[in-house]
Structure 1
């Protein structure tokens, strides 16, 4: 634990809950209104397109039969462009269209078993005649009739495959990952509402009937997934003579509730036929190359380590998902949970070969040391290690994941093994990425699996943002490629090719980037960074998918040095040791010391954040991992160099996220800084609001005093994901955001803004809005081009004068409907609010504690009455 005050976090009190006062639903577009005004023309266009698509499909199927292609037992894929305000599930209900994927700009890929599109054409005809119930046709702006399916291919193929597509070799064998939707046309019906004069018995009967129907829908989704998995396997293996790469325990696919992903090998002829004609495909991509950058290290001299002892029996366990660990290492051995060690690599690797074979000084061993020791190996006297380390080896001796393993399946196997194990592990370090920037079309199977695991289990996965290599092939670019093209540091860090690497875009993983220690220039070498806390030259940056702030935090992972000359060189020469993190080194490949400063990377920044997470589990063992993530982000600060008006804050948020976390701020309070937190598992349904109240003592807001008060708020939540949806609000079953009371706004006024059933006061929303750094729109905060509510970690902060503080500072947590129509669908969340007197002029902890205790008594009394 850090030195200083060890005051407990205060409880954040929920004042009340109720239906949320949400904003207006989106309005239909002008194009939709125009279609309603000219029904004849719009209906004629859709009729023509539907007729063309149906005839093309019949012609293609006749040709496929003549060429002996396999029977796909499916209908046809349609590409629609719809009004973005339209609920896509209406397409399922009215036309029996299965929603394959939602895309940007209103494009939706749907599938129809009926090639003649009878129900669709009937509705179009009805729309032309103004038949009641056909108004939805106005919101269908276009049906794509291109026989070559160019736009559909562009939406489902990766960029690389789309460019390659015209030149696919029909005899060559291709390995690809395919995403297949499997939701069918059934959906959960609306929950019944009690009618006037309806008896309790009759209402109970209708509720029971609805509940049974809901169960049937869920069962139908699971059955369809099994059916489609077998169907695709049959087509690929028996129809095209291809093969399915086994995922785990002979399972052919990795599944989410709405879809499955399968790795196949098939010749070009079969691949083209399958992609063109199987209507339930939403993604076809080449497998990621998962291979960590190799060390350029120059080891130093041997150093004598201090005496260390095993952690306490009940200490937190941290699972290192990596290249294995040198378990006999003198600095780690007492903390290794050897009975749990396991190798997940396929034969000829043995399940018991868990050593770190990566040359010259290991990778997983270094990561484990950073989790255990944090910034520096302990040197003074005996030291009891704080955590147990578990060793999950998934990388081979070349620090690579074999193509025969799907990373989404591997991480599920690891999480389930250790979370269900004797120590019920909750914290996992995953310093592994693909070597290319993440795609933005859909959440990857790997990242979505992490999101699903965090939804299912109370776990925390600390994930690296990924490293830029020296050189890379297009569409990627390495550091030297950027420099050769005239893109200088740090500007190349926000290039498209420098975006966080898969699975760093995962919403639920806490993604960590890297910053440099200092400026260095000597002996012909110099650092890229010119100040402490500058982004590392290799650290990948944001924004992530759907403009989410990624990485969320950064830690010290060091900096490459460059040797300018006729040809720029990159390296980690021994004379620049102060620029590299101190790491435990594997001694399996001597010579070399047990620890040294000789390598850099985001791989070694992430475990320092894991170190904080494990301390939080030690201090708050009964709290959910969502709270650990919340407190880590809450503790993060931008470094000193950002505190000037000349700084490009958009570039800062993209490279540093919310900043560098701090163990002391995350785990303790002081006289001058107080953090209030929710406790235990807290959940919210769509359409509901939880209102939290923080009483501000008079001593903090006395007139005449102008102390600077830093106010920080962090929300972290988790909900169930769907890969086939292509924006934040449809990717999650329920999405959540927050809003705060204004300066000078009364509690009753804020309640009327937050809760639906509260009557609005005449002076509702009176008072000034806090000048938040981010706010809820990209043009409302101090940081242009970014907003706080784009992801599932939502932090914001503001500095106000003490006399401006309101009597009560309130936060409303708002639940919104995502993809799920199930009224029981919910999101789990944690919330933290902090106040800090920047100049330390007055103490605030005790007065805040007393005010919270008084409010707690008041709220309990209200409940009793």
Structure 2
């Protein structure tokens, strides 16, 4: 921060309601229309076969029937007599019949096949994309891990897993009663605990998540018995975590200089992990001893907040120090206070009977009361990858990611999560299959681990800090070059196909031996505190150790903002400032080589590896003579548009026309999220566009006040708007929307008026009176030529706008 050039605030925006226009529907191809009668005949036969089976069943038997529809794209089942039990995937829908026959569905198919064309299109044209309708297999409700291992699982003596139950009743009270009845029925199968137990559970809007331990035989009954098909809609593996346990033996803490505690008013970061060891010399000065708590329930652990496996202590040290200085007489100065929530036992696992989502809720409810804003969750569920194929028949929104999003919004806090790691053995397999770095990043098996896809969290990937290996490395070479993504970092996209991770930090590298072996190396690992008194340090590579470095920088941004007099800082503004500060490594180097290699294989996928870059806590709040940062935070009502005046001064005309001028815009918001599987995940979505000063603002208001088609392509950009990267379609998918516009020649007419930043809010759940949504805006204007007095000019224009705003009140 620079007290001579403080941050500037945007003036209150104008507000306009959005109108609606009919969505533009893509017509069926001539081939689809020509084939419609044959398609309809085929579908009718399938429907009649199911109808005959339903008519022969009792009412109770019909209630247990689950129907699977396979299609080429999502289809609309309104008015068909089928009720989806979850939001459709692109290719599958699971639904239950609401009547004893599927007459309504058959009628709609008949209309599609034989109805008159209107404007060249048949009625109910969605059926052109429907391929099969059949009774679902019980195993369609299994997660990918269970689906692949089912035959082995049913032979086990004991298995522990999570289930998702659903009520089809209409009223809230009736739903709760039915869910209670389902749990009671399941408990009867366990025969007083001899065949199993139902542990912790959590209810949300007609669904219930529960932890179960039972015999393989009972597990098979729950999966295959028809009565459970519409009561238990999903079987999920328990979260499994990655562990580490390595130490450096030639280090002596006595050779170090002074350890300096953080300022008394420095922010706190809560480490949600395996606990911390307060006696470690690096941790003792920075950990709040009264705020290291255990959230375990077993007698041996409930009063023991200490780290017994080493992960949490390492993460905590990086969150406070960013990096440890091990040189002789070196000073180590803690910048942030550390609070700790121990949620993992000595085996690095959650307790059998606990739901991870409920533990997280308990943690946030405990620590947010004392003002903690940032929660670091450097955990990855190594048995839960996040990609389209892993979702199979039911699109999983992840109960845990959903919980993170709900807690983030309810308590206005920030979760820092990780993409997860590709193991050394998997990287070795990639090379063995002919997929070298970075090409293997496009493979589905390199996708992000749950809960890194959480929409409201900041997800962090890893960059390689160095290629300098140590030890016996004659035949080995670093896989990633310096400033390239680490070879183990996993890739997005997130829940809504948005850019994930948003940010990256330095987390290590891998070595590749001449014989094909892949391994870590101490010289390329991250040094951190251990969970012991001696040796006091350890080393490891992983996204787990990149994330706390982002938490560190975010906490420093929070501290700087408070020092500047901004005390009521929303989570959205804190995220926006952090992301807005991010940059990529220098052009024309190793990073550009990586981008080029990725674009040759899958254009723009590199954004799902490195996000928006590496954050810079100094850059986040520091204006200077040539740079102005403008900020704003408030709430936006869905189905409205906000119009901001953005000053881009005419003095830029005098700058060298061959050098870059840059606008960086970050908009972050916190909408309600899907409570179960039938709604669009985000209750409200935002889109922003910017227009130069030579575009009439009334024209902008008219253009932005009309609802756009949901899945528009980049070609939907208005020719008069500024072109930012990423483009509007890609950046608008997430709750963090960041774009950069660079230009060289600034014409006088560009600044004849203020630029206009238009932010439109779209209601997605058809609610009549939805709650307003918290959002924040950060705009950075830079003259990289360091010629124009940007800050003073922007400051003067903002002062004039403030006077005008007050006079209009």
Q: TM-score range by the shorter chain?
A: 0.7 to 0.9
Which stretches in structure 2 are left out of the alignment for 5+ residues? 117-121, 708-715
Partner of 1:819: 765
Partner of 1:256: 204
Q: 8 Å contact 1:5–1:670 — kept in the other structure?
A: no
Q: 8 Å contact 2:453–2:494 — kept in the other structure?
A: yes
Partner of 1:295: 246
Partner of 2:635: 682
Partner of 1:53: 50
1:738, distance to aligned residue in structure 2 (A): 1.4
Distance 1:521 1:95, change over 3 A: closer
Equivalents in 1 of 2:625, 2:178: separation in Å?
Answer: 60
Of residues 129, 135, 142 in structure 2, which corresponds to 1:157?
Answer: 142
Of residues 659, 665, 686 in structure 1, which corresponds to 2:613?
Answer: 659
1:60, distance to aligned residue in structure 2 (A): 6.5
In the TM superposition, what are the counterparts of 1:113-124 in structure 2 within 5 Å?
113-116=98-101
In the TM superposition, what are the counterparts of 1:279-290 in structure 2 within 5 Å?
279-290=230-241
In the TM superposition, what are the counterparts of 1:515-594 in structure 2 within 5 Å?
515-520=463-468, 523-525=471-473, 526=476, 528-529=478-479, 531-562=481-512, 564-566=513-515, 568=517, 570-573=519-522, 576=523, 579-588=524-533, 590=534, 592=535, 594=536
In the TM superposition, what are the counterparts of 1:1-12 in structure 2 within 5 Å?
7-12=5-10
Partner of 2:25: 27
Q: 8 Å contact 2:292–2:339 — kept in the other structure?
A: yes
Confirm or deny that 1:601 pairs with 2:542: yes
Equivalents in 2 of 1:826, 1:35: separation in Å?
Answer: 44
Distance 1:742 1:775, change over 3 A: farther
Q: TM-score, normalised by structure 2?
A: 0.84
Deviation string 1:526-584 (CA, Å, 9 cap, x unpaired) is 5525543111122222233443211111111122334x2446251324xx2xx333423
1:408, distance to aligned residue in structure 2 (A): 1.9
Equivalents in 2 of 1:230, 1:61: separation in Å?
Answer: 24
In the TM superposition, what are the counterparts of 1:361-440 in structure 2 within 5 Å?
362-377=310-325, 385-420=334-369, 423-436=370-383, 438-440=385-387
Equivalents in 1 of 2:332, 2:155: separation in Å?
Answer: 63
Equivalents in 2 of 1:643, 1:569: separation in Å?
Answer: 25
Distance 1:10 1:356, change over 3 A: same
Equivalents in 2 of 1:489, 1:796: separation in Å?
Answer: 27
Partner of 1:480: 428
Equivalents in 1 of 2:24, 2:225: separation in Å?
Answer: 37
Partner of 1:732: 682
Confirm or deny that 1:104 pairs with 2:104: no
Confirm or deny that 1:345 pairs with 2:296: yes
Of residues 779, 782, 799 in structure 2, which corresponds to 1:853?
Answer: 799
Equivalents in 2 of 1:616, 1:388: separation in Å?
Answer: 14
1:272, distance to aligned residue in structure 2 (A): 2.9
Q: 8 Å contact 2:463–2:486 — kept in the other structure?
A: yes
Confirm or deny that 1:745 pairs with 2:695: yes
Confirm or deny that 1:627 pairs with 2:573: yes
Distance 1:123 1:544, change over 3 A: closer
Deviation string 1:400-448 (CA, Å, 9 cap, x unpaired) is 334443322221221122123xx13221011111124523322211111
In the TM superposition, what are the counterparts of 1:64-83 in structure 2 within 5 Å?
74=63, 76-80=65-69
Equivalents in 1 of 2:570, 2:63: separation in Å?
Answer: 45
Q: Aligned to 1:76, what secondary structure does the other structure show?
A: coil
Distance 1:560 1:286, change over 3 A: same
Q: Aligned to 2:526, what secondary structure does the other structure show?
A: coil
Equivalents in 1 of 2:330, 2:469: separation in Å?
Answer: 35
Partner of 1:499: 447
**Which sits farther off after the overlay, 644-653 or 12-21?**
644-653
In the TM superposition, what are the counterparts of 1:421-460 in structure 2 within 5 Å?
423-436=370-383, 438-440=385-387, 441=391, 442-460=396-414
Q: TM-score, normalised by structure 1?
A: 0.79
Q: Aligned to 1:535, what secondary structure does the other structure show?
A: coil
Of residues 162, 165, 168 in structure 2, which corresponds to 1:180?
Answer: 165
Confirm or deny that 1:146 pairs with 2:134: yes
Distance 1:166 1:701, change over 3 A: same
Q: 8 Å contact 2:504–2:546 — kept in the other structure?
A: yes
Equivalents in 2 of 1:484, 1:143: separation in Å?
Answer: 38
In the TM superposition, what are the counterparts of 1:271-350 in structure 2 within 5 Å?
271-274=222-225, 277-295=228-246, 300-308=251-259, 310-350=261-301
Q: 8 Å contact 2:439–2:598 — kept in the other structure?
A: no
Distance 1:630 1:257, change over 3 A: farther
Q: 8 Å contact 1:29–1:83 — kept in the other structure?
A: no
Partner of 1:190: none
- Kindly report the root-mean-square deviation, in angstroms, between the aligned alpha carbons of the 2 structures: 3.8
- The count of aligned residue pairs is 763
1:834, distance to aligned residue in structure 2 (A): 1.1
Q: 8 Å contact 1:745–1:765 — kept in the other structure?
A: no
Equivalents in 1 of 2:428, 2:291: separation in Å?
Answer: 42
Q: 8 Å contact 1:744–1:768 — kept in the other structure?
A: no
Partner of 1:670: 624
Of residues 407, 410, 417 in structure 2, which corresponds to 1:463?
Answer: 417
Confirm or deny that 1:755 pairs with 2:740: no
Distance 1:766 1:243, change over 3 A: closer
Distance 1:689 1:842, change over 3 A: same
Of residues 546, 549, 552 in structure 2, which corresponds to 1:611?
Answer: 552
Deviation string 1:282-341 (CA, Å, 9 cap, x unpaired) is 432322322334437565343544444554554322111111111133333243333332
Which stretches in structure 1 are left out of the alignment for 5+ residues? 63-70, 186-219, 248-252, 472-477, 758-763, 778-786
**Which sits farther off after the overlay, 824-833 or 291-300?**
291-300
Confirm or deny that 1:13 pairs with 2:2: no
1:503, distance to aligned residue in structure 2 (A): 0.7
Of residues 755, 769, 773 in structure 1, which corresponds to 2:725?
Answer: 773
Q: Aligned to 2:758, what secondary structure does the other structure show?
A: strand
Distance 1:584 1:103, change over 3 A: same
Distance 1:382 1:169, change over 3 A: closer
Deviation string 1:768-792 (CA, Å, 9 cap, x unpaired) is 5434222024xxxxxxxxx212222
Q: 8 Å contact 2:248–2:537 — kept in the other structure?
A: no
1:663, distance to aligned residue in structure 2 (A): 0.8
Distance 1:265 1:586, change over 3 A: closer
Q: 8 Å contact 2:85–2:94 — kept in the other structure?
A: yes
Partner of 2:713: none
1:161, distance to aligned residue in structure 2 (A): 3.0
**Which sits farther off after the overlay, 637-646 or 651-660?**
637-646
Of residues 733, 740, 745 in structure 2, which corresponds to 1:790?
Answer: 733
Q: Aligned to 1:803, what secondary structure does the other structure show?
A: coil
